[in-house]
Each structure stands twice: as structure tokens, then as C-alpha cells.
Amino acid sequence: MSFFSFGQSAEIDVVLNDAETRKKAEHKTEDGKKDKYFLFYDGETVSGKVNVTVKNPGKRLEHQGIKIEFVGQIELYYDRGNHHEFVSLVKDLARPGEMTQSQTFDFEFTHVEKPYESYTGQNVKLRYFLRATVIRRLNDISKEMDIVVHTLSTYPELNSSIKMEVGIEDCLHIEFEYNKSKYHLKDVIVGKIYFLLVRIKIKHMEIDIIKRETTGTGPSVYHENDTIAKYEIMDGAPVRGESIPIRLFLAGYDLTPTMRDINKKFSVRYYLNLVLIDEEERRYFKQQEITLWRKGDVVRKSMSHQAAIASQRFEGSAASESALEQAAKEESG
């Protein structure tokens, strides 16, 4: 906008070079809605054009320079005045001067480091964006374009199962086991629960996936817990010696990778919470942290064999034999 709406003004548009072919990813906005943004990964080049369109061709638009920035920043909602930038790159597109007609400027940020995943939470937001600016003496003209960054992980080498016991002396004793402690976002949690002693009347049992977002440090640290999923395991009273299988598919839930101490500003962790409710509405629960990670589209074939081995431990020999045969076919094929 020009000062007091007199004189020349302009509109800015940022267009990526590979906009027609680049993938888009859904991402939650601050108001809880989901939108689609261009998807990038760490180390990818970001290039395109900045179109500056003057409103009144022929009239002069004086400026102190034109630039484009690539910014990665963290915003804590309780401290909105401060934006913590962990990536800040600038390219000058034009020296100070004047424009009388629309112009297009090329830009390229080569092999940009994008160390963290885009995230919008209860109390914090991590975003990446391009910002093109026509610098003016009184009022700059600028345009921002958000992008989404996903961080990919490799398949964890050490991925031990989780085994735990929980109980109340002389009343309840159960063991539960999950096949892994690390899961990718499209994975399946496979497990079993064993009832060794049952002397209280249990009427309901479920597994919850809880997301814990931690912001701040020291005395001003703040935790926000959000129950992402509730999965009913059993409705009714179990008996001693009973074993209940668990299969929880993660793909249908709104999950992010685990984030630990991101830029010393926030963390996002996930927990499996086993909840038992008795007939007097008393709740018994046991919580266990799990690690979530994002897998790339290209997967080693041997992973299907590893998945089959994992299922063999939990699902009986007949089902797992066919799974192993299928995995072997995939590897040989």
C-alpha cells in the first residue's frame, strides 16, 4: 500500500520453479484447520521467481532495494513478540532505485539446511517461509509464503520390545508387552496383555496415545498433554490366565515425529497409556514413552522381513509363517 493511498504501489507474488511438480503436504494451522503447503526436506534447494506488479504503470515506484529471505523460526505463544530464528538467509534482488513497470526477479537458496520439522502445537509454532520485500522509506511492501518441512529418519537399528508389569498387591497383577519402542508414523503397534491375578472387577480397558508438548525452561517450563487416540482393548471382566492381543494402527491419527529439545525451546513426546477402570470407576494406569519417526517413501525391502519376524513373536506361528513367506517373496521379487 502507498502512503495515504497516493502515488505508486505494487503487489508481490512468490512462485516456486517446481510448483507444478512439487508434492504438497497437509499441515495444521493455528486455528486448528488443515491446509496444503509445498513440501521440502533438509538440504533441498529452494528456488523460484518474485513477481513485482506495479498498480499504475508509468508512475514511479521509488524503493530502497528489493530482497527475498528464507526464514525458519520458532514462536512461543506466551512470548509472541519474540520470534526465534534458527535459519535466516537473504538474497538481494535489486539495488535501490525506482520502477515504472512490473518486473520479475529470479532467486535460489542452494541446499538449504532445514534441521527441524514444521510444527503447530498448543503453545508453540515452528514454521518456514519465504518473504519477499520491496523496501521503502515509509512503508515496506512484503509478501510471505509458508512451506512445510518434513524430517526423515532411518529405520532404528536398536528397537527393543517393551515389557512391563503393573499391579496392586493381592488384587491385580498384569504384564503387558509391545513389540517395539520406536514406530514410524504409518506403523502398527502390536502387543499382548497377560492377566496373572485378577481379584478386582475390571469393566473396561483401553490404550491411549498421549502427546506431551513441553515449552520453556527451568521454573517457567509448561507441559500440555493431549490425548490423540483412545483404543478399547476390552469391555468386560478378564479372568486369570487370559491373554488379550493388541493391534493399533497409527496411520489414522494426527501424529508428528518425536521432537526432543528443539533449538532449546520445546519438545514433543508420545506415550502409550494403559488404562483400566473397575466397577467403582477407579482408574489404574501405566504409562510408557515411545519414539515416533517419519519414514521416507523409499523403503528397504528387508524391512518387510523384519516386520514379519516382529509379528511372529506376538501372533502365533501359523499367521507369522505366511507373513514370512510373503516377505521372502517381496525380497526375491
Task: CATH number of the domain at 24, please.
Answer: 2.60.40.640
Name which residue leads in pLDDT, 265 or 160. 265
Whether residue 215 contacts residue 266, with contact meaning beta carbons closer than 8 Å, is answered with yes
Length of the chain: 333
Residue 108 pLDDT exceeds 90: yes
How confident is the model at residue 56, as a pLDDT? 87
Among 149, 182, 205, which residue terminates a domain?
149
Q: Which domain holds residue 201?
A: 162-293
How confident is the model at residue 2, as a pLDDT? 39
How confident is the model at residue 158, as a pLDDT? 66
How confident is the model at residue 163, as a pLDDT? 81
Sign of the C-alpha dihedral, residues 58, 59, 63, 66? negative
Tell me, yes or no, whether 87 and 209 share the same domain. Answer: no
How confident is the model at residue 281, as a pLDDT? 82
What is the number of domains present in the chain?
2
Tell me, yes or no, whether 51 and 113 share the same domain. Answer: yes
* 219-234 pLDDT, tens digit each: 788 999 999 999 888 7
Q: Which three cell numbers stand for residue 228?
A: 490423540
The confidence band for 243, taking pLDDT boundaries of 50, 70 and 90, is confident
Residue 309 pLDDT exceeds 50: no
Tell me, yes or no, whether 107 and 197 share the same domain. Answer: no
Averaged pLDDT for residues 246-267: 94
How confident is the model at residue 240, as a pLDDT? 76
Averaged pLDDT for residues 195-203: 78
Among 114, 149, 184, which residue terminates a domain?
149
How far CA 82 is from CA of 77, 129, 140, 202, 268, in Å, comes to 9, 17, 20, 50, 21
How confident is the model at residue 155, as a pLDDT? 65
CA distance 267 to 22: 29
Sign of the C-alpha dihedral, residues 129, 26, 259, 22? negative
Tell me, yes or no, whether 139 and 22 share the same domain. Answer: yes
